[in-house]
Amino acid sequence: MSASSPLFRFIQVELPWQLGPPDGRYLLRDGAGPDGTPTHIVVFATLGAPERRRLTARRRTREAEPAPEPTPVATGRATVIDSRHPLATEAEARAWLAGAGERELDAGLSVLNRALHAFRVVTADPYLHTIDRRQAIVTRLGFGAGEQVADGLWSDARALDLSEGRRRRSRILAPQARLAAVLGARELPLACEELTLRARLDLDQGREREAALQLLVTLDAALAELAVDPHAEELAERLTELRGQRDAAAAAAQAALSGSLDDAQRQTVAFTLGRIEAVLRARAAANA
């Protein structure tokens, strides 16, 4: 690496499946059209699975057969390179790496999910999903020269760990109990619960038009389903608040059909979605 070569920051994740887009490098631009400013390069790579070992020959005796070994699968690696602000010196790069962490990883995953969403749309594949760091086998932050990081290599990098110990046990047990109830047909999930998740995903991934359109359907479903819920009386005040948001949510959805949302409409979408989530949490607590 030349002393004058600029250094580029990257985040890298490896996942236990192939990510979908064909292996290669993809340029992302800021804004619409080919004249937008290049911001990132996303590199997709498939990592080969190890060859499966042959099972030992079947014994002639009638002893129980051993369980077959798991079938090795190919894994996927994605590298998101920030091309906007190259670092001039190694000292500057090391200072950035020393202070980088969750915020940088979240920003990189947001870029990766933008690329995956584009692939989902162009291939009309409804089963391609958003990546979350908890799904990753490895997550890395690092820096390197241009061709180096584009090939999945680096000058220096470090892995980030997901600390499951920070999760409160009460938050783990409650979903387990409800899962048993749903799978055992003692409780039926609501349609608005799934719709809420879709709206939240769109909003968190910056797809504000899709979030606004999804929100209106979600709100109508929540008002209809929760009005006849066994805990409707306990939720009455919250449902009244949601009904009061219906006109503003409809206006935001109409704006989404016509183009972009203004600041007030963005706030409406975020606020109303948050209130729907609060109602669903209150319902879950009442059912506990």
Q: Please list the pLDDT of the chain residue by residue as tens digits (288 residues).
A: 555 689 999 999 999 999 999 999 999 998 766 778 899 999 999 997 655 554 444 445 456 667 777 777 889 999 999 999 899 999 999 999 999 999 999 999 999 999 999 999 999 999 988 999 889 999 999 999 988 898 888 999 999 986 644 444 445 456 788 888 888 888 889 999 999 999 999 999 999 999 999 999 999 999 999 999 999 999 999 999 999 999 999 999 999 999 999 999 999 999 999 999 999 999 988 877
Strand partners, 24: 44
pTM above 0.85, yes or no: no
Q: How far is CA 219 from CA 50, 79, 207, 261, 272, in A?
A: 48, 37, 18, 18, 8
* CB neighbour burial string for 48-85, b if at least 16 within 10 angstroms, e if fewer: eeeeeeeeeeeeeeeeeeeeeeeeeeebbbbbbbbbee
What is the three-class DSSP state of 45? strand
